[in-house]
Structure formats: C-alpha cells, structure tokens
Structure 1
Amino acid sequence: MACVCAILTLALLNCAAIFTRADLPGTWELLVANAGISSMHTAVTRFNTVVLLDRTNIGPSRKMLPRGHCRNDPSDAVLKRDCYAHSVQFDPQTNQIRPLMILTDTWCSSGQFLPDGTLLQTGGDLDGHRKIRKFEPCEAAGSCDWVELDDVELADGRWYATNQILPDGSVIIVGGSAANTVEYYPPRNGAVELKFLADVKDTQMDNLYPYLHLLPDGHLFIFANNRAVLYDHQTNKVAREYPPLDGGPRNYPSAGSSAMLALEGDYSTAVIVVCGGAQYGAFIQKSTDTPAHGSCGRIVATSPDPVWEMEDMPFGRIMGDMVMLPTGEVLVINGAQAGTQGFELASNPCLYPLLYRPEQPVGLRFMTLNPGTVPRLYHSTANLLPDGRVLVAGSNPHFFYKFKAEFPTELRIEAFSPEYLGPDRANLRPVIEGVPETVRYGERFEVLVSVPLSVVGIVEVNLGSAPFATHSFSQGQRLVKLAVTPSVPDGGTRYRISCVAPPNGMVAPPGYYMAFAVNQGVPSVARWIHLVS
C-alpha cells in the first residue's frame, strides 16, 4: 500500500477541517491555513504557545513585521531591507499568529530550552554561524521576542548541529558542518574535538545533526551516520563504542530519525530507537526516486553488551519525525518514501503516520494510522502539544518560497490527534485538578485528578519535555514515567495519586515539563511542572 494512496472523507467541525479514514485510527485537523512562514524549527513553550522559525535570508515571507520593524542587512542577497517575519508565535488555543523579529540567519540551526524555560537558539548560516539567541516566552497576549546576544558567541561556527540540556542545566552543542567538535553554553573552555564525528563522515557527509540522547547514568549517546558512542561530557572523552547499525547512513542528509524510549522503573535502562533513512549515494547523485529504506534498529544503550535489534516499518521513509507521546508510544509522522534530504531531492510523500508500540514483540510494534493530505517533506516539523495532539508544520523543499510546484512551500499548520483522543475514549480521559507548580528532585507530591468513569488500575503520571524539533530529530526530547501509588478515591470521581519526582538531573534535566495523567492509555491535558534541584 503506497503512502500517497488514501481514501478520505471530509467533515467540518468548529470551522476546522477534520480528515478521517474509517478503518485507520487518528484524525487530522487544519488549524491555520496560512501561518505566514514555513517552519523549519518548532518548539512548544510553557505558556502553551508555539515558536516557529525559518531562515532570515529567504526573501519575502507571507507575514509582515509590525510597522517600523524591519531588518536592515546590506549583505543579504535577496532583501537588504526586510520587513517580513521569519519567526512567529502561534497560539493553539485561538489559532492566532503573532510575528516575531529575528535578525541573524537561523538556517539549519539548533536549540534547547534552559532550566528557566528560556529557549536557547544557536548557530545557522552566514551572519548566524556563531550566533547565540534567546527567546524568553510569555503569555500569548504578551510581547516577548527574540534577543540576539552580543556579549557571547559560539567558539566554532555551527550549521546542522544538535543541542542537549545536561544534568546541571548547561547545554552541550555537538557537531555541525565542518565542526567536528563539542562546546557548551554557558561557555566552558571553548570547543573540544570529537574525533568520532570526523571518523564517521563519508563523501556525502552523513554526520550532520547527530542524534543526541542523555542517558540516565549521565553519559551521552551520540549517533552519527551508522555508528554511536557513549560520551562523557565531564571529561570530554568517548567512554565506549557501540556496534554499527546495519542499513546505511541515518543522519543528515540521509534523513532517518531517532528517539529514546520512556524512562521508567528504577531509571537504570535506556533504550534508543533509530528508524528509516535514505540509500547511500542518493544525495550525491541528486536522486529523487531512489527508494528510502524502512529498517529500524533498537538498542539498550545502558547494557554491558549492547546489540541492535532490527525490524522494519510498513513503509520506507526519510525525513520522518519521531514524537514521544504521553503514553510512552512513539508517533512517526511526515517524510517521503524516496530521495533524500535537501532542496527538491525527495518524492513520493509518506502521508501515513505510524504508531510505534515499544511493549509489543518484533514484527507487531508498528501500527499504520489515518493518512493526512498535506505532503510534509524537507524542513517540516512535529511537536507534542499539552492537550495530547501533535502539531505538524512546515515543508519547504525549495531554496526560496515556491507555491507553484509539485510539492509547494507549505504554510498550513495541522494537528494530528492520536486514537487516545477519540470520542470513544472520552469517558476515560482524566483531568488534572491539582498539581504543584514546582517539584524538587526525589520529592514526593500529589496529583489530584478526576475521571468521568471509575478508575481501573493505576493512573500514571508522566513528564514530557518540550524539545526543539528540526530536520527529523527532536533535540532534548524525553519522557519520564514517575513512580506512583494506586489512586486513592477523594470523593465522587476524584482521585489522589502520590508520585515521586525523578531522582536527579541525569534522569530528567532541570526545567519545565508537561505533566500528564494517563488513565488506561488515555492522557489528560498536561499541566506544566518546573523541576528543580
């Protein structure tokens, strides 16, 4: 069954289009027909707003900056006086768009939230190569905007790098084009060579946007091309090498994706999944029709004798985004079945999302979901929203905005609702009525929930991070399942759940998390918790 084939029915609900295919789970909703920009980078803030970013040197967008707010750049080859927005704030509650002003080029940059909820944004192209920026989010009606730091810059220029917050709240910035090094924010003794990145670089690169996961022992799992290492960020040394992953290169420009499965129990075990990718040579040959592969590797990164367990997705897929859901399952969405990353280098859009169910045996882990109708190719994103939906944005496989093409620049923002938000699950959906705003490591605290029907079993309380999504990888993505006691009735349909916060910053780095109550696989709307030491 080809991903582009879909039998769709269309209904209207609250002036938003809902797309369904009766025999497949999940629904699609058009939120905004014109966001003004095509989002290359997307992040959800603790105020339930969404920050979207594109390049600054892309020429006119479809959203103007406020009157009198223009970017003057004599070196810009397209617009030396640019009065168009290249970043916006989106409010999913009202579907309103507010333009933001960013000055330096964020093309293929990286990002991560700091412990205080500020979005750190690093690198890019041209005048953004060494730039560090911050966005301190505010309520939807506020006036917060980007701030470009002038008193500090990156030690190495970073283009196609990856960021990860560390247990102490600092951020490591890894790799990039011609940057086989790591460095830190706040700065820590400049850039440090990471020879591994140079060793795995092939003739078409394939070491860019490395996959970076903080393990619960405090080490970093760094994956590039088809290999991975365990990195000690305190000594800046490789602690071990993992066996290669079969199936060819998986990183930019070969466009697979990766996620660390939910941490739970005693938090001593971390499982990494790497899925999809382009055939080696597709990027060099500029081939748009070379079939992508659909193989996935899964490895227990904390095992003393780790090996890759292999399985196949229902479809070959490049540029798929892997989104951790509140339940611990993983949504694979967006992408194409042929070609590679890069401008106008992919074809055969893969419209079918997949649900990866970690607890199922090999061969039964993937479930095909209801297809969308909007191709999401190069420069598209997917992010979990606090209400459990997945925000889908972007797709611009062209150097500039191009609206008359087989796969045009995409300005629409959609939401995909997994099956757990279906009307048949409404009676199971819990509502968080009380939760602390701040929780300390190892602290026991209570969550008060109500459920329309009687609770069966234990209601989970799971913490989900807010990652920085770009180029088929969500930087800093994490889900932690808390230790809980059985729900205690508190009158009517209300229940008290006693939870224990994560023990330390290795399990969950400090910062803001979406706290979900999950009843029989159905998550609540999240409440934000500030996790501190």
Structure 2
Amino acid sequence: HFIYTKRHFDKPEVVGFKDLDYLHGDGGGFLSGPIEADDGVKASKTVVEAESDDDDNDDDDGDKKSKKKKEKKNQKNKKEKKKSKKDKKYDESFHTLPVESLVNEKGGDGNTDDSSQLVGYNVVTAQTTFKGSWELFVENSGVSAMHVVLLPNINQALIFDATVWKVSKLKLPGPPCRHVEGTNEEDCFAHSILLDVETAHIRPLRLNYDTWCSSGALDINGRLVSTGGYNNGSDTVRILDLCDTCEWQEFPGALGNGRWYATQVTLADGKFIVFGGRDFPTYEFVPPEGQKNTINEVINFPFLKETHDPVENNLYPFVFLSTDGNLFIFANNRSVLLNTQTHTIIHEFPVLPGGARNYPSSGCASLLPIMLKPNEDRKSIPAEVLVCGGTLHDAYTKADLQRPKVFLPGNTDCARIDITKRNGKWKIQNMPSARLLGDMVVLPTGDVLLVNGAKTGSAGWDDARDPNLHPVLYKFQTDG
C-alpha cells in the first residue's frame, strides 16, 4: 500500500484534543503525564499549587507583621507568574490526530506569529475549509517502502527496498535480470520504483547492489545520492537523476568503509558526509561521482565506539548541520558538536536521560525550523533539535534474545535543545503515547508531524508490538 495525507496549511488547527498542562521547573516548562492517546487525549494533570496561607492569618486587629509577610508573598507570586509566562514558550502542545482522517470541522488559527519568518516559508492558502485526510492512493505499489523520498521537479516518489530477499510484488519489464551474488540465480523482480503522485503510474527501476538499510540525501540539483547498504551494496554510491527514463547509476567500491545503518548529511558547501554503520565507528566524505575513497579518506570517530551498547543503540545516528557550520551528532543518549574541517569535537551536550534513541531503540529526530529576524545582525543564529521516543537500553535484548520475549514500553518523551548554546540543556515534554520506530516530518507551518511506529518492543526482526496508529502534531514555537 502507498498511503499519504493531503493537507492545506492556512493556519491549521486540530480540534477535539486538549493542550497538555505543564509543570514549571528551573529548566523551563515540562509537560505532565501520564497521557493516553485514545479517542481524544486524557491528560493526568500535574498542578503546582501556590503555598498555603494558613500561617499568615491576620489577627482581628490587623497584625502589621502578618500583612508585611503577605505583601512579600504576593510580590513573589507575581514574579513567579511572570517567569511562568516566559517558560510557557516551551509548553508546545501535542495534538493527537484521528486515525481515520485529519479533517478539521471547526477551523481556527493554530499558527504562531513568527511563522512568516521561517526560512523559505510560504503560507499555502486553502481554497476551502477542508483540512485534508488520509487517502489510500495505490493498492499495490509492488515494492515495500523501506526508503521513500518525494523527488523535486518530476513530482514522483522514489521507493526502494532491500534486494537480498530476491522477491517483490512487481516484476521487471524485461531483461537484464539481476545476478544474485555468489549463486547461479537471477532475480527478475523490481526492488525500486518511481511512483507518480498525480497519476499513480509506476515505473520499475533496476538495482544491482543491495540498498538494505542504506542512507542518502538529495544533492543541490535534486538528485538522490544513496550510500551504503548490505553485502555488495555496503560500499556502494548510487545516483538517480531526474528524468522520465533515468535509471540508477551504481558505483560499487566508492566508499572506504562499509556503511550499513549509517547516516548521510549535506554540508554547507553541498558535499555529503556519511557517519557510522555497523562495525565501522568512522566517517568519510562521499567522493565525487565515479571516484573512490581509499582507507586513507576514512576518519576514526571514537564517539561512535563510546556510544555502542552491547546491542548497539547507536546505529543511524541523528546528524544535523548547525547554523555555525558544525555538525550536531546524537548517538544512543549522547550528543556532540563536530568540526568537520579540523575533525575535532568542540562541545559535548548533556546526556539525555530515559533510555536509548537510535537503532534498534529507534526514536526519531528533526532539526526544527530556523528563524531569521529581518535587519538583525546576530553573531549566532539559534538552531534547535527535537528528539522523540525510543526505548530502554535493554529493550532489544529482551524482545529479540530473551525467551519468552518481553516487550518493554517505548518512551513517551520528547526532548529539545538549542545546539548553538554551549550551556544548552534538554527541555523535556511528554507525548500523548509511547512511540518507537516512528517517522518525523517538519510541515510547511513549522509544526512537526509524528506518525507510525510501535508502543512496545524494539526495532528489528519481529521485535515490536502494539502499533501506534495515532499521528501526533507537535506545535512549534520559538524561545524568543
């Protein structure tokens, strides 16, 4: 199946769901829990009550000392209220979206005043009050969407899976078939397609080098540059151009290390860099088309060794380009800022408590929209990262290796940090429900949509349970 959502973005508001209350602390606003995501959100509210005035009762004749004490307390309460207002900027609401649709019957304004300052932001004006819905678009795409990306210009979704299984629900239109490495077999099934999102037309694409749990990113021309994968694909670089007849170009042996479950990111100059992968705590720059890296181009990265649990929990690290040109790298429960020119870690952020966030614990993360203020000369432009979900460090061990299997609950928290501050601290909130193996998408409004995943267990090999069928919308606001 290929399912997608159509949605208009003129000041969207999701109705029928309550904002979560927040509990003020010294580090900012923290959402209270537990939260259940059923038909509407039931929030167990944590309320910070004002101190009791029992000790401050006035005498009948009016005790001056007591009055003075009350005045002092009132001033303190006013200050706390003022601080509360400031802290509330971090009290973003999580809205649970219905499984069956995203229709808003009431309408309303859900945008913040800062939305017009988003980089590249344009409000799309809706022609009606219809806010969108889920639509079953294609009954059988033929290929499981292990990876999917909407390509620019040609308005087609590229979908591809692993080749190792040697079968899909779509045959190639004709020879040549793929030779299965190490055997005399031929694989004549498609493992990659282009799907036209307007017409639903499907065009099969040939793949020779396995893309199982590979990485990738779009280049400045909108082409997909894919790296790594499994077996013969682990050191391969692939490029798909944008045209009606284009096929994958594959360059085996282009990478200096095998990259399976690695992360690829685009640098400020448009080049790519790829981090990690199973058994390789290293990184390297992706070579130009047709060229190959040697082992000398591979840079050791001890941070990926240090964050390696007995069951990993640091694969597919979260990597984002910061506004200062450095890279924010998050693996397991730790994060650093890396200068890719000097190959040095220039800062380590506080440990994020509550478990592991990367594969196979598999939380999700996003760089939040970057706000530009007109006519303001700033030495640094704030950038924030949001990390949501995941599970406990031993969840994979209990779900995959233990008998009988035990499926631990996933995390319900989201954490947010300014990666441009050297004294930055994680600000933690609760989601309406537990989520691992989820997907996170930044919408044109600046809000963040969380979909898919499970509530218990771990990633990998039938180890997850309790699918999370409730999409959640994170209402984005800035800290100032």
Using the size of structure 2 for normalisation, the TM-score is: 0.68
2:240 corresponds in structure 1 to: 135
RMSD between aligned residues? 2.1
When residues 55 and 3 of structure 1 are mapped into structure 2, their CA distance, relative to the original with a 3 A threshold, is farther
- Structure 1 or 2, whichever has the larger Rg, is 2
Match of 1:197 in 2: 304
**CA 1:312–1:124: 2 relative to 1, 3 Å:** same
**Greater share of helix:** 2
Q: Which residue of 1 aligns with 2:268?
A: 167
Alignment of 1:97 with 2:178, yes or no, is no
Aligned equivalent of 1:155? 256
Write out aligned runs for 1:49-198 (5 A). Answer: 49-75=156-182, 80-138=185-243, 142-150=244-252, 153-186=254-287, 189-198=296-305
Residue 45 of structure 1 deviates from its aligned partner by 1.0
Amino acid at match of 1:134: I
Choose between structure 1 and 2: higher strand proportion.
Answer: 1
- Between 1 and 2, higher relative CO (CA 8 Å, sep ≥ 6) is seen in 1
Report deviation, 1:26: 5.3
Deviation at 1:205, TM superposition (A): 0.3
What secondary structure is seen at the aligned counterpart in 2 of 1:197? helix
Task: Provide closer, same or farther for how the CA distance between residues 5 and 255 of structure 1 changes in structure 2, counting only shifts above 3 A.
Answer: farther
Contact 1:104 1:131 in 2 (8 A): yes
**2:410 paired with 1:304:** no
Shift of 1:59: 2.4
Which residue of structure 1 aligns with residue 394 of structure 2? Answer: 281
Counterpart-to-counterpart distance in 2, 1:133 and 1:84: 19
Give 3-state SS (helix, strand or coil) of 1:277's partner: coil
Between the aligned partners of 1:325 and 1:179, the Cα distance in structure 2 is 34
The alignment status of 1:28 with 2:134, answered yes or no, reads: yes
Question: What is the CA distance between 1:57 and its match in structure 2?
Answer: 1.1
Do the aligned partners of 2:36 and 2:432 also contact (CA within 8 Å) in 1? no
In structure 2, the residue matched to 1:485 is none
CA distance in 1, matches of 2:238, 2:213: 14
| Residue aligning to 2:20 | none
Q: Say whether the 8 Å CA contact 1:3–1:349 is kept in structure 2.
A: no
Does structure 2 conserve the Cα–Cα contact (< 8 Å) formed by 1:4 and 1:351?
no
Q: Is the 8 A contact 2:103 2:132 kept in 1?
A: no
Matches within 5 A, 1:347-362: 347-359=465-477
Q: For 2:262 and 2:226, how far apart are their aligned partners in 1?
A: 11
Asked whether the equivalents of residues 398 and 407 of structure 2 are also in contact (C-alpha less than 8 Å), the reply is no
SS at match of 2:304: helix
Structure 1 equivalent of residue 383 of structure 2: 270
Partner-residue secondary structure (3-state), 2:366: strand
| Aligned counterpart, 1:320 | 438
Deviation at 1:101, TM superposition (A): 0.4
| Matched residue SS, 1:173 | strand
**Unmatched segments (≥5 aa) in structure 1:** 7-17, 362-533
* Structure 2 CA distance for partners of 1:309 and 1:331, relative to 1, 3 Å: same
Q: Quick one: structure 1 residues 23 and 268, their matched pair in 2 at CA, closer, same or farther if it must change by over 3 Å?
A: closer
Unaligned runs of 5+ in 2: 1-34, 41-98, 106-130, 374-379, 400-404
Measured in 2, the distance between the counterparts of 1:45 and 1:23 equals 29
CA distance in 2, matches of 1:296, 1:289: 21
The structure-2 alpha-carbon separation of the partners of 1:219 and 1:58, relative to structure 1 and needing over 3 Å to count, comes to same
Aligned length in residues: 344
Aligned residue among 344, 351, 354 for 1:237: 344
SS in 2 for 1:178: coil
Q: Which amino acid aligns with 1:99?
A: P
Runs of 4+ in 1 over 6 A off after TM superposition: 21-25
Residues of 2 paired with 1:69 and 1:51: CA distance? 21
